[in-house]
Amino acid sequence: MAVGLAAAAGALAIAELVAVWVRPESSPVLAAGSAVIDAAPHWLKDFAVRAFGTADKPVLLGVIYLVLAGYAAAVGLLAARRLWLGQAGVALLGLAGVLFALGRPGAGPADVLPAVAGSVAGAWLLAVLATRTKEMEGRRTLLVAGAVAGVAVLTGAGARAWSGVRSAGTRSRAQVKLPSGAAMPAVEGTDLKLPGLPSFVTPNDEFYRIDTALSIPQVDAETWRLKLRGMVDRPRTITFAELLAMPMVERDITLTCVSNEVGGPLIGNARWLGVPLAPLLREAGIHPAADQLVMRSSDGWTCGSPVATLLDGRDALLAVGMNGQPLPIEHGFPVRVVVPGLYGYVSACKWLAELEVSSFAEFDAYWVRRGWSAQGPIKTSSRIDTPRGRVRAGPVQVAGVAWAQHRGIAKVEVQVGDGPWQEARLAAVPSSDTWRQWVHTWEATPGEHRIRVRATDGTGQVQTTARAPVAPDGATGLHEVSVRVG
Ligand SMILES: Nc1nc2c(c(=O)[nH]1)N[C@H]1C(S)=C(S)[C@@H](COP(=O)(O)O)O[C@H]1N2
Ligand SMILES: [Mo]
């Protein structure tokens, strides 16, 4: 058993090392994980996100390693009887690795190398360890196998870390110089600066991350190309240098995930630097029957926005900068889309590779195929950030954020217990495309209190009290916190 585990660890380590050299996506374990993510049925994915939140990926990898460990132990037992049987088991696993690697978008012949090298190493280790241990007593076997496994695990983990450092995206990003001069003057008073309240602009390293990518796509800006094609008169291909030379704007835009529960954290606001999308689409000449712009990322993920929304005057951007930096790799380097007023899953394509003008009748994007709504306008929402938990009696600042991107927030009201709805004070905002901070001073009296919040958007529509789950098009209902005073 120990022999099987050690051989498997060695095989995986070699596979990871070779994957650094080929490309991260060719790692058999990552490829298998990605295949599971793409194939997972709707209910399983929902369960995983609900149960593990953004830790769903480490949990998935953990499960894969556990399954592998079980298989490896069995292979070890087989090899102790008949070596060739064990080696056949290794070969079978290698074959699975090859198939998973070839199944990834953009896979080439070289992608089979990690799995092949890994299984050759595994078969060899199995032979060496199995024959040696026949001559050794049990304790020594365990020690040798343990040492081999230890070295292998360290090598594999090192390879994975090294892969991050020397990856194409990281190297390319370090060389990008964003055009200056497009900077937007900051608006005063967007931050109420209260403890417990997130800052108006979310720092890049605190910005939520949601995607289906198990290994972050590594895109070299030098070789990046954006294809604009489909139902247009003039298809074209744009290089990164060409994009950077186009007129740019900088806009504060709040991004929201459709999977954000009422009161949840899957929202962030950044200052995006980018090229307006509408003029590019107009220049291409969109056919009258086209109503969906399909966006495709380098890892094959797709989303689709209504063409009419993109052309209605809002600041839909091909973003290259986030808070004064080139886009971070995990937020879509080198280019992503940002559309104010639409949930991320229907608009905010990261690692953008292609824009295909199409129709909703013609094409269902990634999450639409999995049961989510094809239309994803952001629903008016509000959240209480503070207080959460226990406070002292006396004046307490109840504060949070509210959002209804592109309609704006006109009013926020707070209710304590069954008391009257009271209007909160609103912070300043640069446009209707961002979240808005709010604060209400409450004279807290001892006891247990329930505090609720509701927002009114710029069209005068009050946030609905009706509770809806996140699927298929975003949660609704009022956010409520319980506070103990005393
Ligand atoms: N390529 C790609 N782009 C993607 C996704 C994805 O899975 N793959 N997820 C989308 C979703 S659901 C959201 S909410 C936003 C999140 O963007 P962020 O990770 O920069 O916060 O990215 C969108 N863009
Ligand atoms: Mo999302």
Q: What is the pLDDT of residues 377-389, one digit of tens each?
A: 999 999 999 998 8
pLDDT at 182: 63
Task: Give the ligand 1 atom nearest the CA of 211.
Answer: 7
End-to-end CA distance of the chain: 59
Rounded-to-integer distance, Cα 392 and Cα 442, Å: 11
By the 8 A CB rule, do 301 and 342 touch? no
Q: Whose CA is nearest to atom 16 of ligand 1?
A: 210
Give residue 379's Cα distance to chain centre: 20
Ligand 2 centroid to Cα of residue 457, in Å, is 22
Ligand 1 centroid to Cα of residue 51, in Å, is 20
Rounded-to-integer distance, Cα 452 and Cα 421, Å: 9
**Among 461, 465, 460, 459, CA closest to 478:** 465
pTM of the model: 0.89
Rounded-to-integer distance, Cα 86 and Cα 10, Å: 15
Task: Give the ligand 1 atom nearest the CA of 352.
Answer: 1
**Among 425, 462, 418, CA closest to 440:** 425
The ligand whose atoms approach the alpha carbon of 268 most closely is 1
Rounded-to-integer distance, Cα 44 and Cα 169, Å: 31
| CB of 349 shorter than 6 A to ligand 1 | yes
Ligand 2 centroid to Cα of residue 218, in Å, is 21
Rounded percentage of the chain residues whose pLDDT exceeds 70: 98
By the 8 A CB rule, do 72 and 122 touch? no
How many CA atoms within 13 Å lie on the side-chain side of 283? 9
The secondary structure of residue 295, as a DSSP letter, is E
| CB of 301 shorter than 6 A to ligand 1 | yes
pLDDT at 428: 98
141 pLDDT above the threshold of 60? yes
| CB of 208 shorter than 6 A to ligand 1 | yes
Q: Whose CA is nearest to atom 6 of ligand 1?
A: 211
Question: 145 falls in which pLDDT band (50, 70, 90)?
Answer: confident
The ligand whose atoms approach the alpha carbon of 300 most closely is 1
149 pLDDT above the threshold of 60? yes
Q: State the DSSP string of 189-253.
A: T-----TTSPPSSPPGGGS----S-SS-----TTT-EEEEEESBSS-EEEEHHHHHHS--EEEEE
Q: Whose CA is nearest to atom 12 of ligand 1?
A: 345
**Among 109, 88, 112, 108, CA closest to 98:** 112
Question: 183 falls in which pLDDT band (50, 70, 90)?
Answer: low
Q: Whose CA is nearest to atom 8 of ligand 1?
A: 211
The structure tokens listed for 74 are 């069995």
What is the per-residue pLDDT across 334-373, written as a single tens digit (0 to 9) for each? 999 999 999 999 999 999 999 999 999 999 999 999 999 9
Is 451 or 33 the better-scoring residue by pLDDT? 451
Ligand 1: residue of 218, 350, 470, 473 to mutate (most ligand atoms within 8 A of CB) is 350
Ligand 1: residue of 57, 211, 254 to mutate (most ligand atoms within 8 A of CB) is 211
Domains assigned to the chain: 2-166 (no CATH), 191-370 (3.90.420.10), 381-485 (2.60.40.650)
Side by side, the strands of the sheet bearing 381-386 are 381-386, 394-403, 436-444, 425-426
